[in-house]
Amino acid sequence: MSRIATNCKNTGRPVMNEPESVFWSHYIDEKNTPLYPFGHGLSYSKFDYSDLQVSSSSFAKNGKIEVSVNLKNSGKVAGKEVVQLYIRDLIGSVTRPVKELKGFEMIELQPNETKKVVFTIDEKTIEYFTANRKWEAEAGDFKVFIGGSSVTKLETDFNYSN
């Protein structure tokens, strides 16, 4: 079984979260993807994510933005889904992970019910231990992902300036 982490450094190899990505491996009969991605869960129902929106494409020091997504239970029975928010800092003073889990919310929906799920992103959400040897948020471009596991493809961008 593969041991691939989402909170890993970008190595320059093809994107690991692409199930169809192909690159050289010692094991040619095995995909280079995890059997179950981080955050993967099982349910008796099926959930669809749509309409990912960000309240603003940028925010500054002491500001915040809201990121929302519509979650629909498209199955035939009631079910629960953990909606997960991941962020990628594209450039930092130290190498940043490919995706970091920054928020999650358990949502229970009846069949064909839809709910808008909203997350707030502020300075505290994007700060990390920088090359300055302190916790701070650095200005730059970010990607935000929302879905049911770490392999979600629903994404948008935002910018932070301090």
- pLDDT tens for 26-47 read 555 566 677 788 888 888 899 9
Which segment of 9-23, 52-66, 146-160 scores lowest on mean pLDDT? 9-23
Q: CB-based contacts of 29: which residues, under 8 Å, 6+ apart?
A: none
**Number of folded domains that form the chain:** 1
Residue 14 forms part of a structural domain: no
What are the backbone dihedrals phi and psi of residue 146, each rounded to the nearest 5 degrees, phi first? -135, 135
Q: Which percentage of the chain shows pLDDT scores above 70?
A: 80
Q: What is the reported pLDDT for 42?
A: 84
Q: What is the reported pLDDT for 89?
A: 95
Residue 2 forms part of a structural domain: no
Q: What is the reported pLDDT for 61?
A: 93
Residue 18 forms part of a structural domain: no
Q: Let me know: does 47 contact 79? Beta carbons within 8 Å.
A: yes
User: For strand 155-161 and strand 140-147, is the pairing parallel, antiparallel, or unpaired?
Assistant: antiparallel
Residue 69 forms part of a structural domain: yes
Q: What is the CATH number of the domain that holds 83?
A: 2.60.40.10
Report the greatest alpha carbon distance in the chain: 52
pLDDT tens-digit profile of 93-126?
999 998 999 999 999 999 999 999 999 999 999 9
Nearest to 140 by CA among 67, 86, 91: 91
Residue 23 forms part of a structural domain: no
Q: What is the reported pLDDT for 80?
A: 96
Taking the model in full, what pTM does it have? 0.82
Q: What is the reported pLDDT for 49?
A: 97
Between CA 142 and CA 42 the distance in angstroms is 30
Residue 31 forms part of a structural domain: no
Residue 153 forms part of a structural domain: yes
**Average pLDDT rounded to a whole number, residues 3-21:** 52
User: % helix / strand / coil in the chain, to the nearest 5?
Assistant: 0, 45, 55
Residue 12 forms part of a structural domain: no
pLDDT-derived band of residue 72, with 50, 70 and 90 as boundaries? very high
Q: Which domain holds residue 149?
A: 47-161
Nearest to 107 by CA among 141, 61, 134, 69: 69
